[in-house]
Structure 1
Amino acid sequence: MLEGMTSKDPRAGALARLAALVADETRAACLLALLDGRAWTAGELARHCGVAASTLSEHLGKLVGGGLLTEERQGRHRYVRLADARVAQLVEDLTAHIAPDAAEPPRGLRQSGADSAMARGRTCYDHLAGRLGIAVTDGLTARGFLGQDTGFALTTAGLDWFGALGVELDRRGRRPLARACLDWTERRPHLAGAAGAALCRHALDQGWCVRIGSGRAVKVTEGGVRALTGLLGVDAVALR
């Protein structure tokens, strides 16, 4: 290489700073908690992470400064959420690359039950994941509503299906209509993107799914079982 020349990619510094933000366990715990798509107060995150409020505030400052979180204040409370769907995708993709045997084993029956609920069904930022998300994705594909030949794409029949369901799809932003998101428990892709978000919102609004507690886990109601088996031919056993 000629003297004075460098091959260093100008994006290297930004990538290193991003990696450093995620590399802290407390900040990683915050990002994972916020994958439920909702805004949390600083106090709620501090209790969730098991750290002092002052410690958590410092971590939140770094995550907001790094562009991974946004914040707003209402009275005495400080609320934070993931900056956008791209951040959620980054966190979920990184989590999906953790080997199953590398994760810490559940601590007690309560933790084991929570892990099982998350594996059955959960929200991944704003779309459905876990076995529920995979079952819905498979149903859409089997009915010809979703193509997976060269990445995820809604078919014409799929667009018509969403329209008949009364679900409006947002096509105004840069967000793709359909995107494959690697499921970290099932190790297979489920539907994300604007269509995945719209379907998840519809399922919650219609009472097909309900949240379990304050976390990301969701369960399918009896009405949801009837709706999803009727609309997508999903095996009822996969929904329970």
Structure 2
Amino acid sequence: MNLPDLRKTEDDALQLELSLSAVASAIADPSRVSILCALMDGRAWTATELSSVANIAASTASAHLSRLLNSGLITCLSQGRHRYYRLAGSDVAHLLETLMGISMKSVKSPVPKTPVHLRVARTCYDHLAGKIAVGMYEFMLNEGWLEPEGNALTAAGKLHFDNFGAILNPHTRRKSSCACLDWSERRFHLGGDSGAALLAAFERKGWLVRTPGYREVTFTEDGKRALLRIFQIDLR
């Protein structure tokens, strides 16, 4: 190995050591550990909710969240006027799970205060939201109906949509699909043109009915059968 290569190897090793030290330092605080453990459920939470979990002041939580953001352990999502925080990825969750298995017990996550009937199913602008919509989105991801980041339907997804009458707009100027953060479940549901087509199809077929003047929707018996047949979601 020549001198330039040796120096590059040493620089890479030093960078790795510094990066590892930064991650370890970010985790080495009880309040930040509490925040990270709360985020292990895969949901996204506000700074206020996480400050409650960690039993610290909101201003203190903000500083801890900045530290975790800078270390790459968490990400921040903006939804309207709210900011939500979640783990940066499954690799971070696997790291924390390993550490928790050695030395920690999971910290209880805050319980959402959204009314139960709205948590189950509601509209989010022109697409479905709530627990059922989140389950549908996870099913579509797992079955390969959606691209890994949820930005578009795959060929298989388009075929399935066509089979149950969800009509996509070929000339839409909006995103064809997008992962929309669900404010009650704190996981993603399907937005974009695909999400709108899905809701329109369910309504057109009589699989759900809207509550006039409200965002709540109720699945009919035909809709419950369709959810089970298409998305393997059992509401019966």
Q: TM-score, normalised by structure 1?
A: 0.51
Q: Which residue of 1 aligns with 2:137?
A: 137
Amino acid in the other structure paired with 2:226 = A
**Aligned-pair distance for 1:227?**
0.7
- Distance in 2 between the 1:197 and 1:218 partners? 15
Q: Which residue of 1 aligns with 2:177?
A: 178
**Aligned-pair distance for 1:156?**
0.6
CA separation of 1:181 and 1:93: change in aligned 2, threshold 3 A: farther
Q: Which residue of 2 aligns with 1:206?
A: 205
**Aligned-pair distance for 1:95?**
4.8
1:147-162 superposed matches below 5 A: 147=147, 149-162=148-161
Q: Which residue of 2 aligns with 1:232?
A: 231
- Distance in 1 between the 2:82 and 2:203 partners? 25
Query: What whole-Å deviation, never above 9, does each CA across 1:162-218 have from its counterpart, x for those lacking one?
Result: 122232201312211111100000111110000100100111111111113420011
* Structure 1 gap segments, 5+ residues each: 1-89, 106-111
CA separation of 1:133 and 1:92: change in aligned 2, threshold 3 A: farther
Q: Which residue of 2 aligns with 1:94?
A: 81
Q: Secondary structure of the residue that 2:201 maps to in structure 1? A: helix
- Distance in 2 between the 1:96 and 1:185 partners? 14
Residue 166 of structure 2 contacts residue 200 of structure 2 at CA under 8 Å; is this kept in 1? no
Identify which of structures 1 and 2 has the higher relative contact order when contacts are C-alpha pairs closer than 8 Å and 6+ apart. 1
Residue 210 of structure 1 contacts residue 218 of structure 1 at CA under 8 Å; is this kept in 2? yes
Identity of aligned residues (%): 38
CA separation of 1:135 and 1:151: change in aligned 2, threshold 3 A: closer
Query: What whole-Å deviation, never above 9, does each CA across 1:95-147 have from its counterpart, x for those lacking one?
Result: 5749x97x9x7xxxxxx8xx221111100000000102101112222322123
**Aligned-pair distance for 1:161?**
1.2
Residue 96 of structure 1 contacts residue 182 of structure 1 at CA under 8 Å; is this kept in 2? no
Q: Which has the larger radius of gyration?
A: 2
- Distance in 2 between the 1:227 and 1:176 partners? 26
Q: TM-score, normalised by structure 2?
A: 0.51
CA separation of 1:138 and 1:172: change in aligned 2, threshold 3 A: same
Residue 96 of structure 1 contacts residue 185 of structure 1 at CA under 8 Å; is this kept in 2? no
Q: Secondary structure of the residue that 2:81 maps to in structure 1? A: helix
Query: What whole-Å deviation, never above 9, does each CA across 1:37-95 have from its counterpart, x for those lacking one?
Result: xxxxxxxxxxxxxxxxxxxxxxxxxxxxxxxxxxxxxxxxxxxxxxxxxxxxx995435
Amino acid in the other structure paired with 2:154 = T
Q: Which residue of 2 aligns with 1:55?
A: none
1:35-114 superposed matches below 5 A: 93-95=80-82, 97=84
Amino acid in the other structure paired with 1:141 = L
